[in-house]
Amino acid sequence: MSNEHITVIGSYVVDLMCQTPHMPQTGETVLGHSFRMGEGGKGGNQATAASRLGSMVTLVTRVGNDDFGRAALAFFEKEGIQHNRIAIDPVETTGVALILVDNNGDNQIVVSLGACGQLERADIEAAEMEIANSAIMLVQLETDLAAVEASLEFATKHAVPLILNPAPFQPFDLAWLKQVTYLTPNETEASALTGITVHDQHSAMQAANKLLEYGVKNVIITLGSKGAIIKQDHASCYWFSSFEVEVADTTGAGDAFNGGLARALSRGTPLLEAMRYASAVAALSVTRMGTAAAMPLEHDVLELMHKQGNRCIPVDIEGISGVADK
């Protein structure tokens, strides 16, 4: 197995997406258009992103014994993703996500996890060989937390660097963060983890400081169109401005970022350059409709990086502390 191998542990759901002129209010029926069905779920999206960029990827998840599940296996086969650790759940159906995207490219999503919500410790144990031979491991919170805890345990056991994307956020034991190499929350998730309302660069740095105190080695907070910040210790901070693109659909941008980050780090890319690469992957993903289907190829990412140059700016952190008013 390649020493650039990535193991992704997480969810797979079928995306059922419809465009709408505006988000419906309670009790309102809106005439939408452009219905699409495609592969999704945070685990599936992140695995697809990393694979399309050129990485060897194993996905650990569950699907149902149904048409959606069989279509998922065919999709991963086509994408070159190792799917021998995808379990067929004997009871639950394949998960689904109901997605609305408005004319501004903003989205609202309801997820029913189905089979992948039943992912458990035994599924992680079955993938121990793949984990042990990985350059990096990527985990989210869109599964049962027992599977997340087992993932952290096996990554630590085999000294595999671990990216935890704490999305969608659900409360967990903050002691787990001592086992996390790279934590990648967005504004909402960073706020939930720290109690600090994250809305700009300043508040993001405060939240990052607090997360470092919990034991995380590297904190990366994504801020959407406002870019992202990274802190590795209390003495340095960098802000990455976002790439300038025409937005069609922001669904899956965070997954594109995490898949791109895993790809770059698995190849030994220094963290600041890996951040720039991941930001470019996320930017390209929002120029297309869909989630897994919108993940870009590496030559397009490199072209965007070449065209728009360095997006990394050191930040003056004088006066920034890990404690802020809620």
CA distances from 70 to 12, 15, 81, 291 (A): 12, 15, 15, 19
Q: Could you tell me if 244 and 227 are in contact, meaning their C-beta atoms sit under 8 angstroms apart? A: no
Q: How far apart are CA 146 and CA 267, in angstroms?
A: 29
DSSP 73-98: HHHHHHHT-B-TTEEEESSSPEEEEE
Q: In what order do the strands lie in the sheet with 107-114?
A: 33-40, 13-19, 94-101, 107-114
Residue stretches of the annotated binding site for substrate: 13-15, 41-45, 142, 255
Q: How far apart are CA 228 and CA 238, in angstroms?
A: 8
Q: How far apart are CA 98 and CA 58, in angstroms?
A: 26
If we measure between CA atoms, which residue out of 87, 232, 59, 221 comes closest to residue 151?
59
If we measure between CA atoms, which residue out of 157, 105, 112 comes closest to residue 131?
157
Active centre residues (catalytic):
255
If we measure between CA atoms, which residue out of 325, 274, 284, 275 comes closest to residue 304?
284
